[in-house]
Amino acid sequence: MTKRKVKEEIKKPDIVLRAVAFILDWAKANTKACVIGLIVVVVICSSLFGYSFYAKRQNDKVQFMLSQAIQTFGESTVSSSIEKLNVAETLFNSIINENNKKINIIARLYLARINHIKGKLEEAKRLYLEVQGQSDDPVVKSITEQALKQFDKK
């Protein structure tokens, strides 16, 4: 290329400048559409932020409920208290009504154990089988298999 062509090429606006100029011209011509689009983007972003905040709070609430239920279950096994066992059962049942699959599985395992302690073997077996079908976690599968083997021995 000759110097003259190089200078002409340098003076021409490049693709980025042309794109920016086109966008600005379009925005000036369609101000109303741009404002509406901006409002929609702000509303969507706010909604996503609000939902993520809500979901985190719900998850924290369910985790707190689970910790309380596990603590009550532990206290009932140490003290052999049927009252605390019933409280733990109620707490685990309330956790199952929440929409958190992983924590629901843990709650069902504890409920199955509580039912086993209370002598409700069919209910315990049903819960173990439910958990086994719902979870893909190898640890949970192992726990349920060991529990179900105990039922087969009896």
Q: Domains in the chain, ordered, with CATH?
A: 3-153 (1.25.40)
Q: Which residue in 126, 128, 154 sits closest to 140, CA to CA?
A: 128
| Mean pLDDT of all residues belonging to the chain | 86
pLDDT confidence of residue 46: 95
State the average pLDDT over residues 71-86. 87
pLDDT value, residue 154: 59
